[in-house]
Structure 1
Amino acid sequence: MDTQTLITLLSVAIGAGIGGGILAGLLGVGGGIVIVPALYFALSLTGMEPGLTMQVAVGTSLATIIFTAMSSAYGHYKKGSVDTDLLKLWGPSILVGVLLGGTLGGLVDGRILIGVFAVVAALVAIDMVFRKVRTGPEPRSFSKPVWAFFGTLAGAISAMMGIGGGTVCVPLLNFLGYDIRKAVGTSAAIGFIIGVPGAITYILTGWGQDGLLPFSLGYVNLLAVLVIIPLTTTFARVGVKIAHSIPQRALRLAFGLFLGLTSLRMFMDLLGSLS
């Protein structure tokens, strides 16, 4: 890796760390929705094969989410926005989903991950922008098997996208009747459950893979991790303050519009790699 490419990677990592941290606290997304496309763009400049590039971006993002989620979740917990009972109910099934999704994501063609990322981000963006929120939402009651299904699905998709769960869990919890701020806070805590096993899975599935950059453990690049983590954990606190000071509708619109732009960019990259 030449000096110019190294500088580009570090610059993008710094920007992703700041932006990802703010969004982690603001939206409960773990920062991965920013970090994955940013790292994908930076790593593509190194000449890596597109599919492999996406796998490294996803694996590296999951490693950074471990620390970002802890910082964001603690901030929301102090404000009473983390539902600990829901974490106990949902945690085991999310863990199962992460192990399934992480293993699949580390073994399939990375372009499939790009497609998954783009499609899910687009669907969530449409939901968050256009669906009306009911006044005084009440959490809906479901049996444990139904909750287990939702958790496994959310964990699998999150592991394949390299995100902390908020992109999937925030709109899902809001749809199930949870207040948007409690959905954001609880999803931030879920990010930790996703990040730890997800990162380990991508390290193992990428171990010994040819064509990886220096300072890599499997599909996790340690250089990018060391740059991003201090920034995301610091700026997550800024996002938490913003989340508790703006209207809920504005929070949903900000989330949806950002995801829409991200999805569009990933679709363009996918079409470019296929051609």
Structure 2
Amino acid sequence: MSELVVLILYCALLGSGVGFLAGLLGIGGGLVIVPVLSGILLHFGVLPPEQVVIAAIATSLASILFTSTSSALAHHKNGNVPWELAPWVMAGVALGALISGFIAAWLPEHLVRIVFVVTVVLIAIKMFVSSSSDIRQDHKIPNKAVLTIFTTITGGLSAMIGIGGGALLVPLLTFFSVDMKKAIGCASACGIVIALFGTIGYVSSGSTYFNLVDGFAGFVYLPALVGIICTSWFTAPLGAKATHYLPVSIIKKIFAILLVVMAVKMMLG
């Protein structure tokens, strides 16, 4: 069995896990994909260490385009996407993701790594101390212009570190008194937009560094992308369905611990 086939199988196993998490928690899965895929790319010698992280982030975003679509369709079917709110959130995250996709290519690799680690740790802390009923009734949704500014920042940071945005959007929306399940559904839908515009930025900015002959579309490594989406597309709806049956508050705490482990691994390289 060739090394490329083994790499794709590893990525397929990774995709099955992140797809379920995407549906369950409204995250794109990038928080798991980026550090694990970085290790896979290094193990198989696909790229030198200094280029691995940005390729993993770009590939993560491209895979989230498919994972979030599958997850959002499932949440829409369950009536958990607040479409009266989603377009304004999407507009902000789209702008932020597009800008970030171009900026990140010019940032030093170690700086992107630090941004990833710090953000992941903060998200983990938030996830660990919150619960599935963590709704702040004293914070109302701001006017649409202010909400778009908030989500632009969220989308930019999400694209920069290669995540779909749910890990940032869900805490933001629940802070503004949005029901947890609807916040997760909205985050899934917005993950599509973040992934789309972020991927456009990474493909465009990476086209001068890599080419299709080597298996790359810009910074996106296509064999890994195929491996991840061939399983995540099918497991994301399972995660969305599980939100009705599993204790999300407990799962969030377990996932928070996993995030800290991933952050440590990413920092240590």
Tell me the equivalent position of 2:124.
Answer: 125
> C-alpha separation between the residues in 2 aligned to 1:111 and 1:77?
38
Tell me the equivalent position of 1:38.
Answer: 36
Tell me the equivalent position of 2:74.
Answer: 75
SS of 2:214's partner is: coil
SS of 1:74's partner is: helix
> C-alpha separation between the residues in 2 aligned to 1:175 and 1:164?
19
Q: What's the offset of the Cα at 1:10?
A: 2.0
Tell me the equivalent position of 1:189.
Answer: 189
Q: What TM-score comes out, normalization by structure 2 length?
A: 0.91
Tell me the equivalent position of 1:273.
Answer: none
Q: What's the offset of the Cα at 1:3?
A: 4.3
Unaligned runs of 5+ in 1: 270-275
> C-alpha separation between the residues in 2 aligned to 1:236 and 1:48?
29
How many residue pairs align between the two structures? 267
> C-alpha separation between the residues in 1 aligned to 2:212 and 2:54?
10
Tell me the equivalent position of 1:256.
Answer: 256
Tell me the equivalent position of 1:18.
Answer: 16
Any idea what the Cα deviations from partners look like across 1:88-115, whole Å, max 9, x if unmatched? Answer: 1222121110111111112212222211
SS of 1:116's partner is: helix
Q: What's the offset of the Cα at 1:144?
A: 2.7
Any idea what the Cα deviations from partners look like across 1:108-159, whole Å, max 9, x if unmatched? Answer: 1222221111111100110111246767654613123321221111111111
Tell me the equivalent position of 1:65.
Answer: 64
Any idea what the Cα deviations from partners look like across 1:15-66, whole Å, max 9, x if unmatched? Answer: 2111111111111111222221121111112163333111111111111111
> C-alpha separation between the residues in 2 aligned to 1:47 and 1:103?
23
Q: How does 1:142-153 map to 2 (within 5 A)?
A: 142-153=142-153
Any idea what the Cα deviations from partners look like across 1:199-219, whole Å, max 9, x if unmatched? Answer: 111011111216998211110
> C-alpha separation between the residues in 2 aligned to 1:84 and 1:255?
28
- The 3 A distance-change label for structure 1 pair 236 and 135 is closer
- The 3 A distance-change label for structure 1 pair 135 and 192 is closer
Unaligned runs of 5+ in 2: none
SS of 2:27's partner is: coil
The answer on whether the counterparts of 2:22 and 2:68 sit within 8 Å (CA) in structure 1 is: yes
SS of 1:85's partner is: coil
Q: What TM-score comes out, normalization by structure 1 length?
A: 0.89
Tell me the equivalent position of 1:177.
Answer: 177
Tell me the equivalent position of 1:140.
Answer: 140
> C-alpha separation between the residues in 1 aligned to 2:135 and 2:170?
17
Q: What's the offset of the Cα at 1:183?
A: 1.4
The answer on whether the counterparts of 1:27 and 1:255 sit within 8 Å (CA) in structure 2 is: no
> C-alpha separation between the residues in 2 aligned to 1:239 and 1:213?
36
Tell me the equivalent position of 1:208.
Answer: 208
- The 3 A distance-change label for structure 1 pair 153 and 220 is same
Tell me the equivalent position of 2:83.
Answer: 84
The answer on whether the counterparts of 2:59 and 2:221 sit within 8 Å (CA) in structure 1 is: yes
The answer on whether the counterparts of 1:12 and 1:39 sit within 8 Å (CA) in structure 2 is: no
The amino acid that maps onto 2:216 is: S
Any idea what the Cα deviations from partners look like across 1:242-264, whole Å, max 9, x if unmatched? Answer: 22212342243233222222222
Decide which moves more: 127-136 or 86-95: 127-136
Tell me the equivalent position of 1:112.
Answer: 111
> C-alpha separation between the residues in 2 aligned to 1:51 and 1:212?
20
The amino acid that maps onto 1:11 is: L
Q: What's the offset of the Cα at 1:241?
A: 1.9
> C-alpha separation between the residues in 2 aligned to 1:76 and 1:211?
36
Query: RMSD of the TM alignment (CA)?
Result: 2.2
